[in-house]
A and B are shown apart, each in its own frame.
Chain A
Amino acid sequence: MMKPLLFKSYIGYLLFFLASVPLTCYANFSQNLRWSLDGSFRLNLNEALGNTSRIYALGLDTHKVFTSPTGDIGYGVGQLYYTKLSNHIPVPFLFTSKDDSEFIIREAHLNYTAGPSWFPNIRVGHFTLPFGLEESIDTNGRLLDYYHGKNLGTKLDWGLSLNKVLSQIEYNVSYTLGGKDKAKSVDGSYVVTARVGSLSHLDFVLGLSVLNGKIDGVSRKRIALDWQYYYASWGLLGELAIGENNNQLQGWQEEKYSLVELNKTTINNQLKLYSQFIFKDRESQQSADKLVNIGFSYQVNTQFELSISAGMQINTPVSGKKKQLARVQIRYRY
């Protein structure tokens, strides 16, 4: 059953598209509109839990540039996915049981870009929090993961952002409501996030991010440094975040997180291999978690992609059960 608020928000987004048609003298609605159907099947083998699960997703991915005779006004992105779980544990927050199904809005936002060169673009809607590597490398719908949601409390949130690409730097500052999938503040939730970095298309990218917010009753403060370096078909990426969480029961607890990734892409861009080392340390835990991920994605053609990843915990946690997760995903965009 689709959540009424999500449904209304998405319909609102579509209505904005339609309402904009008469305003855009240059183009009719179908012009400058990209859309595709995006279907995926994901198989998860969780050794630590002794569980095998599947996730099926089918969605509509849209992108529309709004124009006037003198130039672009802005663009909108809308992604609505029907997602079905099968024996998936732990149950993600958007679902109520391990076999639940839901309509999920991923990205749904409008970005106004027509201001003067010094004036920031203004984004409104449901978008990825501008923090760390995820700001320039999108992992939505992929096995590749930079643990954005786990570290910050949510990956996407409803709100407003000011963003711009300048000649030497790019920035993105957002205020969001902290309701995650809900377009409202829940029990005083809010998130202020910001990232400033060098231009993300360059061979060396450096970014600084900060976050201050409260989601699900947990207050979080973070500061992070991210970097990317590319040489020929090799890439070396990293993110280092430090901060603290306050979940009211334990008070403020320090958190440290770091990720280092080495990746290699074939010269025709079809095959991408990556390996990651992740270090997570929480003051409340006896020992730090150390994880290793390896994986690849193979783009068979414009539509079809196969991805496989495997993750393993190096240290032994108190429970004695090391995390071991293997995943396979087939994705088809039509």
Chain B
Amino acid sequence: MSAQVDLDEIVVKYRPVVSFKVKKSLGVRTPDWEDVVNEVITQVIEKVTKGEFRGESSIGTFIYTITSRRIIDHIRQKTKVLKGIPEPKALPDPCENAENRERARVLAEAIQQLKPKFKEVLNLYYYQELSREEVAARLGISPRRVSERINYAQKLLRKMIKP
């Protein structure tokens, strides 16, 4: 017996989630990551239409499984095709389009306006990529305090860049 799901809702709700997972797994510079996303969404619609989703797990887990398998297939396929062929030149980062660039610029300026104690923790943790414990030791605060500062900085930034 197949579970009742709204296909339109699936597409609207899960396309961003699938896109995120695909980009994270393949890398944002992989030129055909959008093709992989489309293939995943198509497969999900087909399987749900055919009644293969029976509600034994959540729809999220069902889509996650399809996404993971498709990504593995894509990597295997690419590995076979690219064997012996020189590495292609990296394509321009698709995220660096005008809209994203503007968003990143606004965010970067907002980060600059933060108090030094917040900027310092963001610098050490995200830019220098020290561990939470290393950042805590460097600043003389507890690891828990590091997380609190980051979360508070995020909250401030959200307010600062609110349109």
| Chains A and B bind each other | no
